[in-house]
Structure 1
């Protein structure tokens, strides 16, 4: 007997089936099926044939593939009994609870006294399916691996896209061809990681940014993950995500995965990107003040580093406000004896040498410039050279002889006394001063992976958020080392990278938009000479790259010439004038025929307006630009297009282009199928086009 279930929205159908009372498997996920589709028949016609060298029947690729049923690939669960004996679960379907938008599948293994529960929740507006798996037992077990509900991967795909990176070089896209065997990635650093962002995209044949079918996945957990993309010997493919293996260091009677967010798109990678952007912004993030526009951000780190001096900071605040900043963030160096990165982490008391009257005089001055005030913490870390480490060396996570990272250790966040101490120190500052923003940093990997560390950090942030709901938190981990939907359920902004090199950020922002909306993605105008790359970039290029996301400055404004200050002020004013609609805009990656061009179209939810950013990252191999095709416009509608920064055209752009003289009007059909030809430009420059539907 075959039982079937389905979840539907306007974009997709997800169908599950259980045959013979076994753990269900996903038999279909893709474009909507008719409501009268015979799912039992679909199950039968999807069954693989059997030939020489195979078992007499192919084991199901179930939600939790079981080695005990001769499944030839990676199992969905690896667990040991109290005495260390490996268990080989053999689940049977117990019951399924279904609502209009949800499914909960319960399976049991009576012999091993185990219960497995897979839960699916479909959001009909964002089209994201969130799914979790849980395992319970009647006695403590040792868990090695538990996958979120396992999904089949399409067989009409040639490659997959996942994400690597490094410090100052996050969100680097990897394309890997499907082949028999496993694409196995695991992050064991104890945080989300620069190196292994927990995401995967599978474009089907001939899919691009704007066309074709694609499937995408994101594991919403901040403590390290494992990803398996496996092609079985019989040709089937499976996708598994879960916590990194052996992260549950203690035996327990219940284990649960983080949510795995999955998206199907019929209009290219952009369909996946827009779903993730909207779901994160509208469903995951809890905003401190939804009616408040995102403020222009100023961070003093690259202006003063540890050399805090009140008159200097006041001067910088004055200049930042004149440029348009609306929030001033005091970075590392305000506490303890913090003159460099070798001391004082965890002491979290204002340094009386630098601030003899406390932070009040600086905060009052910042408020007088019509800016709010934010402050930097790195709560999960401790320097050996600190008062707290001397008093409580046992609070540090890991061995005494561990390798330090940035001269520091991690605190053991699983200890209630550690969380209580941190809460007391942080809440004392938040209670004493009008602080509405925390830059929450995490500058080293952990000495060992431990899920309790992540849960402890979550608990501390949750407690602070509950008691100080007006305080916004930015997740920073040496830049982009902790970016995921798990941390963003507790924070409102991420620092995408420590690199303020606009050329590098142009690429990183473009790739990160596959998962992140502009509203949460901090992007700052850095120094003229970038501190992390040494590259010298024009102020207009730096300004427009920052204006693509949540805009800010992170440099010494005293270095600006009058011309640079004017240009930056103009771009900041433009961003403020447009931020209301851009905060909820969809970021659409464009398919450029020239690989040196990185272009995106940010379009309002109602389609009435858009801005196109076309960044020239490198010297083009073409003598003149080819047309750039837009996307997601109304076929018959007419659009007025204007080149916002046409005055920036160089003398080498000598042609008489209509865009240089003023607005042009074209239909959506013309813009999408013919495209628009941009003026010639130097490398490391940006064209900005504004469009509105007439």
Structure 2
């Protein structure tokens, strides 16, 4: 007997089938099938032949591959009973619950101990499939590994793209060729991590940013993940995502994965990025006031560090407001006796030495300048040199001889008393002061991975969100160490990297756009001399790179020359004038013919306008700029295109280049097929082109 199910949107179909009451498997995932497709016939057609050296029948590549069915690859479940003995279930069909866009499949093992459920839903507007799995047991069990529902990877793919990185170097793309065996990545740091963003893109042969077929995956969990991309001996391929192995430290009768977000694209990697951007922005992030424009940030960290001085902060705030800032964020150093990073974490009380009258004088000053006020916390961490640690050393996670990170330890967020203490202390600061924004940091990895730690952190954030629903939260973890859809279901912005180096940011933002929209991606104009790279960068490049995302400043504004201040005002004013439509725009990565140029196109909903940011990260190999092809325009319509920053053309740009001289009217067909020829430029500069549909 064959049971079949399908989920569809206008772009794709997902077909699952169960034979002989076994666990279901994905038998088709790709372009939309006809409504009258015979699914049983499709399932039979999906089967592969056998020959010498093979089993008589190929075991299913199911949504949770079972070791008991002679499956030759990585199983989807590894579990032990209360005595520590491996438990090897054989699951059989129990029931289904099928709706138009949702499907729940339930299976029970023949021993009657375990029940497995897989949940699928498809969003008809964003084209994202959400999938998750859970296990229920009649007795306590120890979980080693549980995969979210397993998807096949395409045969017509030569490589996969996953993401690595480091502090100040997040979102580095790895391209790995498919071959027999597995690409195995596991993050055991206890947080999402700079090194292991939980995403995977599988392009089909010939796919580019703007064309071809591709498949995208993201695992929405903040506590460390495991990814398996495996090619079986028979050539089939599977993709598994789940929590990192062995992070459920206690026996339990129920275990669940986080949500795996998956989608199919028929227009290149941009189809993946647009789906993820829209789904995150429109379905996951819950802004307190969605109609409120994203405010320009000013963060004082790289201006004063721990040296808080009220008159100086007031002066800095005034200058930031004059430049166009709309939110002032007071960073680390306002609490306890926090004069450096060795002390006072968890002593969340205003330092009377620095603020004898509390935060009110600074907040009132900031409000008087027309800005709102935000503040920095790192609730999940503790210093040994703190009042709280001296009173509660048992609250620290890990052993006494653990290696410290940034001179700190993590609090044990699984303990209710720790969460209650933090809720009271952080909540009091928020209740006693007019604060609309929290920068929530997490500056070290954990001494050991533990899923209970992540669940405890989620619980604390959820409680504070409920108690203070108008306060926005930014997720920061030494920059981009905790960016995923799980944390973004509870927060509203991410700090992509601690690096404010515009050259580094240009690449990081470009790659992160495969998953993140503009509205959640913080990007700040840093100091003239970058504090993390030592690179000296012109204000124009720094400002335009920040204007690609949620814009802000993070430097001492007193260092600016009159010319630099004027440039920053102008770019900030441009960003404010365009932020409303850019907030809902799709960020499209462009296929640049020149590897030195990293370019993207922000296309408004409805396609009525766009802006192209073409950043030059290094010297070009050729002397003349190569045309830059745009994408997703209407071929038979005309566009008025104009160089926004034509005054930035250097003296060596000597020709009478048309775009440099004034606006042009060009067809969508020309812009997408020939491309836009830009003026010559130096490295570490940006051309910004605005386009409007006529």
Which residue of structure 2 lines up, in the alignment, with residue 230 of structure 1? 230
Contact residue 123 and residue 129 of structure 1 kept, 8 A: yes
Deviation at 1:39, TM superposition (A): 1.2
Which residue of structure 2 lines up, in the alignment, with residue 461 of structure 1? 461
Contact residue 24 and residue 62 of structure 2 kept, 8 A: yes
Once the two structures are superposed, residues 643-693 of structure 1 have per-residue CA deviations (whole angstroms, 9 ceiling, x without a partner) of 001111111111111111110001111110111100010000000000000
Which residue of structure 2 lines up, in the alignment, with residue 378 of structure 1? 378
Deviation at 1:43, TM superposition (A): 1.2
Once the two structures are superposed, residues 484-540 of structure 1 have per-residue CA deviations (whole angstroms, 9 ceiling, x without a partner) of 000000000000000000000000000000000000000000000000000000000
Deviation at 1:86, TM superposition (A): 0.2
Contact residue 518 and residue 550 of structure 2 kept, 8 A: yes
Whole-angstrom CA distance in 1 between matches of 2:676 and 2:481:
38
Which residue of structure 1 lines up, in the alignment, with residue 502 of structure 2? 502
Whole-angstrom CA distance in 1 between matches of 2:649 and 2:351:
50
Secondary structure of the residue aligned to 2:84 is coil
Contact residue 328 and residue 374 of structure 1 kept, 8 A: yes
Deviation at 1:239, TM superposition (A): 0.2
Match status 1:546 vs 2:536:
no
Whole-angstrom CA distance in 2 between matches of 1:646 and 1:251:
64
Once the two structures are superposed, residues 14-52 of structure 1 have per-residue CA deviations (whole angstroms, 9 ceiling, x without a partner) of 000111111110000000010111111111111111011
Deviation at 1:551, TM superposition (A): 0.1
Which residue of structure 1 lines up, in the alignment, with residue 37 of structure 2? 37
Whole-angstrom CA distance in 2 between matches of 1:35 and 1:19:
22
Contact residue 26 and residue 62 of structure 1 kept, 8 A: yes
Give 1:429-448 correspondences, 5 Å limit. 429-448=429-448
Secondary structure of the residue aligned to 1:10 is coil
Which residue of structure 1 lines up, in the alignment, with residue 667 of structure 2? 667
Which residue of structure 2 lines up, in the alignment, with residue 471 of structure 1? 471
Contact residue 295 and residue 326 of structure 1 kept, 8 A: yes
Whole-angstrom CA distance in 1 between matches of 2:578 and 2:493:
19
Deviation at 1:594, TM superposition (A): 0.6
Deviation at 1:94, TM superposition (A): 1.0
Contact residue 601 and residue 613 of structure 1 kept, 8 A: yes
TM-score by length of 2: 1.00
Which residue of structure 2 lines up, in the alignment, with residue 516 of structure 1? 516
Whole-angstrom CA distance in 1 between matches of 2:686 and 2:499:
19
Secondary structure of the residue aligned to 2:463 is helix
Which residue of structure 2 lines up, in the alignment, with residue 487 of structure 1? 487
Whole-angstrom CA distance in 2 between matches of 1:37 and 1:263:
21
Deviation at 1:572, TM superposition (A): 0.2
Which residue of structure 2 lines up, in the alignment, with residue 95 of structure 1? 95
Contact residue 381 and residue 410 of structure 2 kept, 8 A: yes
Once the two structures are superposed, residues 383-435 of structure 1 have per-residue CA deviations (whole angstroms, 9 ceiling, x without a partner) of 00000000000000011111110000000000000000000001101110000
TM-score by length of 1: 1.00
Once the two structures are superposed, residues 366-395 of structure 1 have per-residue CA deviations (whole angstroms, 9 ceiling, x without a partner) of 000000000000000000000000000000
Deviation at 1:168, TM superposition (A): 0.1
Which residue of structure 2 lines up, in the alignment, with residue 676 of structure 1? 676
Whole-angstrom CA distance in 2 between matches of 1:378 and 1:607:
41
Contact residue 284 and residue 488 of structure 1 kept, 8 A: yes
Which residue of structure 2 lines up, in the alignment, with residue 408 of structure 1? 408
Q: Which runs of at least 4 in structure 1 moved beyond 3 Å after TM superposition?
A: none
Which residue of structure 2 lines up, in the alignment, with residue 72 of structure 1? 72
State the Cα RMSD in Å: 0.5
Which residue of structure 2 lines up, in the alignment, with residue 60 of structure 1? 60
- Residues 112/82 of structure 1: CA separation in 2 closer, same or farther (3 Å cut): farther
Worse-matched range after superposition: 648-657 or 493-502: 648-657
Deviation at 1:112, TM superposition (A): 4.9
Secondary structure of the residue aligned to 2:594 is coil
Deviation at 1:148, TM superposition (A): 0.1
Which residue of structure 2 lines up, in the alignment, with residue 579 of structure 1? 579
Give 1:265-664 correspondences, 5 Å limit. 265-664=265-664
Whole-angstrom CA distance in 2 between matches of 1:639 and 1:578:
18
Contact residue 163 and residue 171 of structure 1 kept, 8 A: yes
Secondary structure of the residue aligned to 2:540 is helix
Deviation at 1:110, TM superposition (A): 3.0
Whole-angstrom CA distance in 2 between matches of 1:486 and 1:223:
9
Which residue of structure 2 lines up, in the alignment, with residue 143 of structure 1? 143
Whole-angstrom CA distance in 2 between matches of 1:18 and 1:291:
46
Whole-angstrom CA distance in 1 between matches of 2:67 and 2:102:
28
Deviation at 1:213, TM superposition (A): 0.2
Whole-angstrom CA distance in 1 between matches of 2:515 and 2:336:
38
Secondary structure of the residue aligned to 1:352 is coil
Contact residue 89 and residue 110 of structure 2 kept, 8 A: no
Whole-angstrom CA distance in 1 between matches of 2:651 and 2:415:
64
Whole-angstrom CA distance in 2 between matches of 1:635 and 1:105:
44
Secondary structure of the residue aligned to 1:577 is helix
Worse-matched range after superposition: 647-656 or 369-378: 647-656
Contact residue 87 and residue 112 of structure 1 kept, 8 A: no
Whole-angstrom CA distance in 1 between matches of 2:391 and 2:187:
33
Match status 1:155 vs 2:155:
yes
Whole-angstrom CA distance in 2 between matches of 1:113 and 1:361:
62
Whole-angstrom CA distance in 2 between matches of 1:511 and 1:44:
40
Which residue of structure 1 lines up, in the alignment, with residue 19 of structure 2? 19
Whole-angstrom CA distance in 2 between matches of 1:327 and 1:650:
34
